């Protein structure tokens, strides 16, 4: 593991800490984020004072693969697509992030470049914490350190599972697992099934599952005809959850 306290190129968010025009988060905003829920109010206030809220428009790049990870970033609102370019130019969506999710936390902790890119899928706001100052605070606050390490461990487990899915599982199994996870995260009972209020193109679904758009169209068309999963203008309706559970377990 690289030295967390080592020199690291400073990001715009880090350098703007002393600019009075920067929008600061309130401690209440930090309390909504999993990494800071269990830390003391005093520690949350100290983190807020060194942080900034950055706004990104739909489609705007937050960071690119290979950029220096000079800040810790958490999504406050909106949605973010994290993707990686594969040899040959095809991209694979690794995660769709929403409120509370960290972005590139492992890279920031290790002091290595971002291993993937992140783009806003909606108008999005993020909490941005300068890396070097945050590490100085972590050394002073064991409770804050425990919360951050817990979040990093969870993210590493998710990434390992995601890569295993992309490289080992059958393509229809990958589709089933993606939709079951989305249903668990943001789904709600509605329209004779579970509504997933998330609009994704066939290309985005193909990227998320590591397949071609032709295969994606074929699977989604068959699921629609079999009344397993319906595509609607504002998202998807999971109609036959047992069928997807069977596919996900195969």
> Which domain-ending residue is among 149, 167, 185?
167
Statement to judge: residues 157 and 185 lie in one domain: no
Digitized pLDDT (tens) for each residue of the chain, 250 residues in all: 444 444 433 433 333 333 445 789 988 898 888 778 777 888 889 899 999 999 999 999 999 999 999 999 999 999 898 888 877 777 777 788 888 888 988 888 888 999 999 999 889 999 999 999 888 888 887 777 776 666 565 555 565 555 555 555 688 998 998 899 888 878 899 999 999 988 888 888 887 787 889 999 999 999 999 999 999 998 999 999 999 999 888 7
Q: CB of 61 within 8 A of CB of 44? A: no
Query: Is the pTM value of this prediction over 0.95?
Result: no
> Which domain-ending residue is among 111, 133, 167?
167
Range of the domain at 241: 169-248
Statement to judge: residues 152 and 197 lie in one domain: no
> Which domain-ending residue is among 123, 152, 167?
167
**Residue 201 belongs to domain with CATH number:** 1.10.10.10
Statement to judge: residues 183 and 138 lie in one domain: no
Statement to judge: residues 175 and 125 lie in one domain: no
For the chain, the domain total comes to: 2
Statement to judge: residues 218 and 108 lie in one domain: no
Alpha-carbon span 105 to 121, nearest angstrom = 19
Concatenated DSSP letters of 38-86: TS-HHHHHHHHHH-EEEEE-TT-EEE-TTS---EEEEEEES-EEEEEEP
Alpha-carbon span 150 to 141, nearest angstrom = 14
Statement to judge: residues 136 and 28 lie in one domain: yes
Q: What is the DSSP pairing of strand 102-103 with strand 188-190?
A: unpaired
């Amino acid at each position: 593991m690289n030295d967390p306290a080592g020199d690291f190129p400073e990001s715009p968010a880090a350098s703007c800490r002393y600019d009075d025009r920067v929008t600061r988060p309130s401690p209440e905003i930090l309390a909504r984020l999993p990494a800071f829920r269990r830390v003391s109010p005093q520690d949350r206030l100290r983190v807020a004072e060194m942080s900034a809220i950055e706004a990104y428009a739909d489609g705007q790049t937050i960071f690119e693969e290979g950029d220096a990870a000079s800040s810790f970033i958490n999504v406050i609102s909106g949605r973010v697509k994290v993707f990686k370019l594969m040899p040959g130019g095809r991209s694979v969506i690794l995660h769709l992030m929403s409120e509370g999710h960290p972005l590139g936390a492992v890279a920031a902790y290790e002091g290595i470049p971002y291993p993937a890119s992140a783009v806003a899928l909606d108008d999005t706001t993020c909490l941005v914490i300068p890396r070097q100052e945050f590490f100085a605070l972590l050394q002073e606050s064991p409770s804050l350190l425990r919360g951050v390490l817990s979040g990093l461990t969870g993210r590493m487990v998710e990434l390992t599972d995601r890569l295993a899915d992309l490289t080992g599982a059958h393509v229809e199994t990958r589709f089933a697992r993606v939709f079951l996870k989305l249903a668990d995260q943001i789904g709600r009972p509605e329209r004779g099934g579970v509504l997933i209020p998330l609009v994704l193109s066939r290309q985005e679904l193909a990227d998320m599952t590591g397949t071609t758009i032709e295969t994606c169209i074929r699977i989604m068309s068959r699921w629609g005809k079999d009344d397993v999963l319906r595509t609607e203008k504002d998202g998807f309706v999971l109609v036959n959850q047992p069928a997807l559970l069977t596919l996900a377990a195969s």
